[in-house]
A and B are shown apart, each in its own frame.
Chain A
Amino acid sequence: MKILFQYIIFPGFLFTAIVGMIASWIDRKVTARVQWRVGPPILQPLYDFIKLLGKEIIIPKGASRGTFLLSPVFGMSAIVIVSTMLWLVILSPENSFTGDLIVILYLLVIPSIAVIIGAFASKNPLASLGASREMKLILAYELPFILIVFIPVIKAGYTIKLGELLAFQAKNGVFLNHPSCIIAFIVAIMCMQAKLTLVPFDMPEAETEIMGGAYIEYSGAPLGIYKLTRMMMLFVVPMFLVIMYMGGIIFEGWHILWGILKYVLLLVIIVLIRNTSPRVRIDQAMRFFWRPMTILAVVGVCLAYLGL
């Protein structure tokens, strides 16, 4: 029963959805300001979602119906699980909830898998193209990402429990004080951008090239769920980095505000990168992640071994 509440209301579905929508609003508002526009009202993401629910659902002829409609649902359910796990760890690091670092890493890939399978099921060549780009993007960022998430693990004495990583940071100061983790953090921000498929790594949907790519055939409620999932990811993925490198959020007086600031800082970085860079090609992205980023990550690992 408790799990039901945790999963559906707090810190699961409802909470993640609301914060995700606010994050999405911040994103759009900042983007608008950067482009000298006024920007949408705060409830705009909610309006968008409700509007999509009211629209007709169209399935392309010859597509695999079940797969096409179920994929978005699975993606959303995975991201809600990650959010629940992360928040329960933040709320009480000592009794870690059911899932360690590796579980989170694997669960974070499921939304992408859902997008890919859904796109494949839609029987559209452009969707297939977009999905294959998404898959290649996963391959690209996953290599440095695996390296850097284990840098805090080395620092904290080889534990993969998130609760213990947080406890270690509460005792010895956040990981970002160390040079090795600063390097890791820089790589992590790049990987995060790719995980969220935001510019410059938005080639899976690239509106101007492949017209939304993976999402091209989606409409109505399934598209709404995809959009909601992406809003949630905009909240969950930066939170993961906050826990890994910035000590999470401590629920005591001013610390709460400080914790929220950490997240907002990451969000602003995301928005700024997204508004100031052009889209790269998929092969450029792969080269970027497999060469400079991986080398940087290896340097970070070496520094961590040296105790820095």
Chain B
Amino acid sequence: MNLIIYSISLSIIAGIMCLFIPKRTRGVAETLGVIVSLVTFIMTIMMFGREFVSKWFLIDNLSRFVVMGIGMFGFLIVLYSLKYMQGRDRINEYYAYLLITIGASIGAVLSNHLILLLVFWGVLGLTLYMLVGIGGSDASSTAKKTFIIIGGSDVIMILGVAVTWVLGKTFIMSGIEVSVNSGMSMLAFICLAVAAFAKAGAMPLHSWIPDCAEKAPVSVTAFLPASLDKLVGIYFLGRISMKMFVLNKAMGQMLLIIGAITIVAAVMMALIQHDFKRLLGYHAVSQVGYMVLGIGTCSPIGIAGGLFHMLNNTIYKCCLFLGSGAVEKRTKTSDLDKLGGLARFMPVTFVTFVIAALSISGVPPFNGFVSKWMIYQGIVDLGRKGDKLWLVWMVAAMFGSALTLASFMKLIHAVFLGQREGGEKVKEVSSLMWIPMVVLAGLCMIFGVLAFTVPLEKFILPAVPGVSFTGLFSPSLVTLMIILGVILGLIIYMLSNFKNIREDSLPYIGGEELPVETRVTGVDFYRSIKDSKILGGIYRAADKKSFDIYDVAKRVLNYFIGMLKYLHSGLLSNYVIWVVAGILVLLIVLMKGSI
């Protein structure tokens, strides 16, 4: 109990303290950030072995690995920020909000009381707004959008909590078990799920994430939309759909539909982006689809897959965003048209980025594959139970995975391989920035290769009882064979004329020398998809933001406001006519009553 209170309050208090540190003394906030986040991380590790239930807090199999994830990401991001945020203003505020976010997230995950959860949830929305706002003046509209979407979903969540209270007669989450069969219970579940969707970024409440990714500082995106919000949001979705509610088929179908649409639509948008960070932002949305899909299958293996995917996604997505930050730090741009050929200059960033990119594309034996593979088994399970639509979810998930691969191939080409505009040399980023990336890329490999012995055994399977694998996959054996294959390949190289390796020919273009300005940026690789007939129309609609719930709502609102505006013409005579007409109507009504 004390440990919980300490871990939450320490970072929140330290965060508030940061706000009052004078602006000139910069080192203080940074030191405080590193120490507090490290201590919090250690405390979350200590929490791992424990079970605890009280009126206010709860540590169980589901929440403890999520908390540990929060602690780890908190520490890594603070470490990364030391160099990344150097030279920006409002540093103290930045660390303050970062620390408060860590504390509030731990609180949200550990709370056992719905009201307490609401409080922490609200604080998270607020700090997110503040952190996005640090991106400078052009981030302010994004911050506003984020706040409106998250805040709006919070309101719905409050409604959900109220309805849940009516149904379960208690606010204590571990004491609630409602089976979803009536209209009320459906309303409660949907309301709570909406909050989880907005936080994690499932469609249609996703539109703040790509904007955020583009405008906010990379470390903020890597921290919140990419890792912490996923952990908190999907944890909450998992908690409500596994423990608090017993889902019926309709709710499962709803989750499946949302998941499938999110996967495909978001990744299709990612395919055509021109901005490094925005592209990653769309993937941050797309991957949520897999988690929702996994939980929506309602079979233990699918749910376990969804939760495992949540953990994996936070790891590789965080790594990808940090990589984009490193590139941006050195080249001062995130425009894919201008980048290229950085692999030679930034080898560490390149290798970690490729590992994370292969993980997110689900290439075996990296971690993304294992969790996707589990989700697919959940979907096959669905088919076995008689759901005829299982193949639709399967195609959405697997084809989405191919599309993900495609967009990352484009990214790897456009940023790290290929040719850069100008082409002057750059340096690798400092070790404080690449250490977090290396740690995360290492985790991608460990969680993939040792999937069954480490993450599944320790974190996921205890949280989801009754998982049985219907497929067959031994990641360690596959890894062993890949290593053997590479050794074989090297032997072939050795047998060959390897000493006579030459590096002096110019790229061959029909026998002519390649002019320096000729480059293929890779940005338009998938133009033929964008230009195709059916998809083209959808893309144009998306460009007009027709699928952005924020913009749609804004348009609807503006329409009604326009009508009201029309009435307020400012002409006195018009107003007088309205007044007289009103009085007449009143008179008639009143007289009718008296007669």
Could you tell me which A residues sit within 8 Å of B by CB distance? 3-4, 7-8, 13, 52-65, 67, 69-70, 72-74, 76-78, 80-81, 84, 96-103, 105-107, 109-110, 113, 116-117, 120-129, 131-132, 135-136, 138-139, 142-143, 146-147, 150, 153-154, 157-161, 211, 216-217, 220-222, 224-225, 282-283, 286-287, 301, 305
Taking a contact as CB atoms under 8 Å apart, the answer to whether B470 and A160 are in contact is yes
Q: Verify if B376 is at the interface (C-beta below 8 Å from A).
A: yes
In the A-B complex, the 9 residue pairs with the smallest Cβ-Cβ separation, listed nearest first, are: A77-B485, A73-B489, A221-B496, A98-B474, A53-B496, A120-B417, A124-B507, A132-B525, A158-B384
CA gap between A287 and B526 in the complex, in Å: 14
**Can you pick out 7 interface pairs between chain A and chain B where the beta carbons lie within 8 Å of each other?**
A8-B484, A57-B497, A59-B502, A81-B485, A117-B409, A124-B508, A124-B514
Q: Verify if B413 is at the interface (C-beta below 8 Å from A).
A: yes
Report B350-388 CB contacts with A as 1/0, cut-off 8 Å: 100010001000111000010001001100110110001
Taking a contact as CB atoms under 8 Å apart, the answer to whether B502 and A77 are in contact is no
Count, chain B residues at interface, CB 8 A: 78
Taking a contact as CB atoms under 8 Å apart, the answer to whether A77 and B507 are in contact is no
Given known pairs A58-B505, A146-B398, A283-B528, the reply for A99 and B472 (CB within 8 Å) is yes
Report B39-79 CB contacts with A as 1/0, cut-off 8 Å: 00000000000000000000000000000000000000000
Taking a contact as CB atoms under 8 Å apart, the answer to whether B406 and A138 are in contact is yes
Give the tally of cross-chain contacts (CB within 8 A).
Answer: 254
Could you tell me which B residues sit within 8 Å of A by CB distance? 341, 343-344, 350, 354, 358, 362-364, 369, 373, 376-377, 380-381, 383-384, 388, 391, 394-395, 398-399, 402-403, 405-406, 409-410, 412-413, 416-419, 470-474, 477-478, 480-482, 484-486, 488-490, 492-493, 495-498, 500-510, 514, 518-520, 522, 525-526, 528-529, 532
Q: Distance in Å from the Cβ of B355 to the closest Cβ of chain A?
A: 13
Taking a contact as CB atoms under 8 Å apart, the answer to whether A103 and B402 are in contact is no
Taking a contact as CB atoms under 8 Å apart, the answer to whether A106 and B363 are in contact is yes
Q: Distance in Å from the Cβ of A263 to the closest Cβ of chain B?
A: 23
Taking a contact as CB atoms under 8 Å apart, the answer to whether A102 and B373 are in contact is yes
CA gap between A49 and B485 in the complex, in Å: 18
Taking a contact as CB atoms under 8 Å apart, the answer to whether B484 and A7 are in contact is yes
- Chain B residue contacts of A57, Cβ below 8 A: 496-498, 500-502
A59 contact from B383, B501, B520, B532, Cβ within 8 A: B501
Taking a contact as CB atoms under 8 Å apart, the answer to whether A102 and B484 are in contact is no
- Chain B residue contacts of A116, Cβ below 8 A: 409
CA gap between A292 and B381 in the complex, in Å: 29
- Chain B residue contacts of A161, Cβ below 8 A: 470-472
- Chain B residue contacts of A147, Cβ below 8 A: 391, 395
CA gap between A102 and B354 in the complex, in Å: 22
Given known pairs A99-B472, A120-B418, A123-B507, the reply for A110 and B394 (CB within 8 Å) is no
Q: Distance in Å from the Cβ of B503 to the closest Cβ of chain A?
A: 4
CA gap between A128 and B380 in the complex, in Å: 37
Given known pairs A124-B509, A138-B406, A143-B395, the reply for A64 and B417 (CB within 8 Å) is yes
- Chain B residue contacts of A64, Cβ below 8 A: 343-344, 350, 416-417
Taking a contact as CB atoms under 8 Å apart, the answer to whether A98 and B472 are in contact is yes
Taking a contact as CB atoms under 8 Å apart, the answer to whether A158 and B417 are in contact is no
Taking a contact as CB atoms under 8 Å apart, the answer to whether A107 and B417 are in contact is no
CA gap between A224 and B492 in the complex, in Å: 9
Taking a contact as CB atoms under 8 Å apart, the answer to whether B522 and A221 are in contact is no
- Chain B residue contacts of A121, Cβ below 8 A: 343, 417
- Chain A residue contacts of B380, Cβ below 8 A: 153, 158, 160
- Chain A residue contacts of B477, Cβ below 8 A: 3, 98
Taking a contact as CB atoms under 8 Å apart, the answer to whether A159 and B341 are in contact is no
Q: Distance in Å from the Cβ of B266 to the closest Cβ of chain A?
A: 16
Of chain A, the residue at the smallest CB distance from B484 is A7
Q: Distance in Å from the Cβ of A11 to the closest Cβ of chain B?
A: 12
